[in-house]
Structure 1
């Protein structure tokens, strides 16, 4: 038996790529020049993933402006004054606001997947943004001539296409990033917003067969940006029962940074379904201290006290750099943590 281990998605971009993205935004280089820097960063990222011994790799999100906004890059019908997401250290991120319909993705994630697959023989996992996160771009006061119902119908179509294109392109698995799940309980402690997010995502997942859903996973964490989080203070007990009602086959759970992992694992054991594989977070990207393989091993063995080993997997708590301009974690630290995860999972398997 082998315990699978997978990255979540992003790794920090090289300094030259971050600089090039800034130059492109300022109009000082063109798209072709930016693409050269992205291609170089992608090749280096795949090579470094391979050196860690990781059995599954990602593109490291080198080409994405952020994990959340890649479908919107290039859309004309956007304004900058959308939903603001506050982080614990005081900094914020702001989503754009949709100004007109019909809504269509400008970029689909299979573009990133195909570029990565061309550079490796290893299985490639592809992260996509959940429909619930994208739904936040629709303004609370609506859009003249384009109802929320019409937007939701378009969004479900687009989110389904994003996942299906990745599956068709040969993704080993497709991961829905659902960091807004825990945040929703901070915005609405009643759980109503969370349930609406779950219902929306299940509309998308319901369009896939059971065999396809076995290759589709959901990632949840309290956010991770510039060494800060947006919802770690929200009790996991409010999220997990609803989370496991999502019709996905895999769940990637932040756990390494939880103060009481046993309590969380007990809730997971109670509410997860037998057909759902649980990937537990064993490295904390927000903490600059690199875990040892032995620490990772012990975290896996702890999880095995609560879940059958044939339903276990390991992952990082979250992406190392979900937003392209985040330089709080170095590439060296990120890949050192990934190496520890891979080696620690191997020790746990033994």
Structure 2
């Protein structure tokens, strides 16, 4: 037995992809993305990554990629404020029905062409895409009808990924912690968790074992949107999700021991907990020794056979985020892989 280690998903896009995204030549973009996916997968494998992704090279962002370019969207949707003052604005649905234009299994298959190790795939959680529906509703398209469509689309996307051989599917839930900032009563978070559980209940226990949930305080342009929200308010509710794994940002936390104690007190019966051991928005590259020590700290709170490691977040949730270089991202991943192996050996698991 050893300690599994996985990246969350996105990596900075290559210069060629960024240039192509700014143009209008779809053929040039497709070619640039294919080259970038191959380079990404090969570099991850050279580092010894036991699981790889496509690095989200073809995604405009990890929040709303399934509906990018749809003609029933307006630009004036929910605004996501970050601590440094910048914002991101989601689109607003203007008419029904909701239909995905892109499913993540196409990204999975693109990576599988070049991978010789298992490939995982991140997908947007229904809770994230539920933010597209306007507060004042849509004439002739009720919110419940929208949510039914959303759950059907999300289920279809996940099943397509599982059927295509994804090692695991990761539900990105970046708005979980943010929900408590927007609504400290916890009502919004409970709504999000219930919606995501409505999705997870559609899968068998064996299928859910391959589905994980990622939470973080945001990671865009070296800033967060909810790092000031107490994990103790989030994690007990989050762990009600019927998922096989949880990916929890931890490297950015000022008091990781306290968070680990909260995790231990609320540990789901069977799910594996992947703890973040590298911080994508910190420009300093962690050393393997730092990662090792973070893992050993976690092992004092959690059973080693229920423990995994990850990066706190993707390195570029939005394609235009160039705050972290590709070389820095790969250096952090290398430290995570090496440090996790060192911790496993120290624990007698290697």
User: Which TM-score applies when normalising by structure 2?
Assistant: 0.98
Partner residue of 1:8? Answer: 8
Aligned counterpart for 2:133 among listed residues 138, 154, 166: 138
Correspondences of 1:56-135 after superposition (within 5 Å): 56-135=51-130
Q: CA offset at residue 19 of structure 1? A: 1.3
Aligned counterpart for 1:331 among listed residues 326, 334, 338: 326
Give the secondary-structure state (helix, strand or coil) at the position aligned to 1:136. Answer: helix
Is residue 319 of structure 1 aligned with residue 319 of structure 2?
A: no
Question: Matched residues in 1 for 2:226 and 2:268: separation?
Answer: 25
Please list every run of at least 4 consecutive aligned residues from structure 1 whose deviation after the TM superposition is greater than 6 angstroms. Answer: none
Give the secondary-structure state (helix, strand or coil) at the position aligned to 1:155. Answer: helix
Is residue 173 of structure 1 aligned with residue 168 of structure 2?
A: yes
Partner residue of 1:285? Answer: 280
Partner residue of 1:294? Answer: 289
| Farther-moved stretch of structure 1 (13-22 vs 200-209) | 13-22
Is residue 228 of structure 1 aligned with residue 220 of structure 2?
A: no
Give the secondary-structure state (helix, strand or coil) at the position aligned to 2:240. Answer: coil
Question: Matched residues in 1 for 2:28 and 2:311: separation?
Answer: 32
Superimposed CA distance per residue, residues 295-332 of structure 1 (whole angstroms, 9 cap, x where no aligned partner) = 00000000000110000000000000010000000000
Give the secondary-structure state (helix, strand or coil) at the position aligned to 1:23. Answer: coil
Q: CA offset at residue 198 of structure 1? A: 0.1
Give the secondary-structure state (helix, strand or coil) at the position aligned to 1:297. Answer: helix
Q: CA offset at residue 120 of structure 1? A: 1.1
Q: CA offset at residue 74 of structure 1? A: 2.7
Is residue 195 of structure 1 aligned with residue 185 of structure 2?
A: no
Q: CA offset at residue 156 of structure 1? A: 0.8
Correspondences of 1:200-279 after superposition (within 5 Å): 200-279=195-274
Q: CA offset at residue 34 of structure 1? A: 1.0
Structure 1 stretches lacking a partner, 5+ long: none
| Farther-moved stretch of structure 1 (68-77 vs 309-318) | 68-77
Q: CA offset at residue 50 of structure 1? A: 1.0
Question: Matched residues in 1 for 2:128 and 2:268: separation?
Answer: 24
Partner residue of 1:341? Answer: 336
Q: How many residues align?
A: 345
Give the secondary-structure state (helix, strand or coil) at the position aligned to 2:23. Answer: helix
Question: Matched residues in 1 for 2:157 and 2:86: separation?
Answer: 30
User: Which TM-score applies when normalising by structure 1?
Assistant: 0.98
Aligned counterpart for 2:144 among listed residues 149, 153, 157: 149
Question: Matched residues in 1 for 2:14 and 2:116: separation?
Answer: 23
Is residue 162 of structure 1 aligned with residue 157 of structure 2?
A: yes
Q: CA offset at residue 121 of structure 1? A: 1.5
| Farther-moved stretch of structure 1 (224-233 vs 267-276) | 267-276
Partner residue of 1:17? Answer: 17
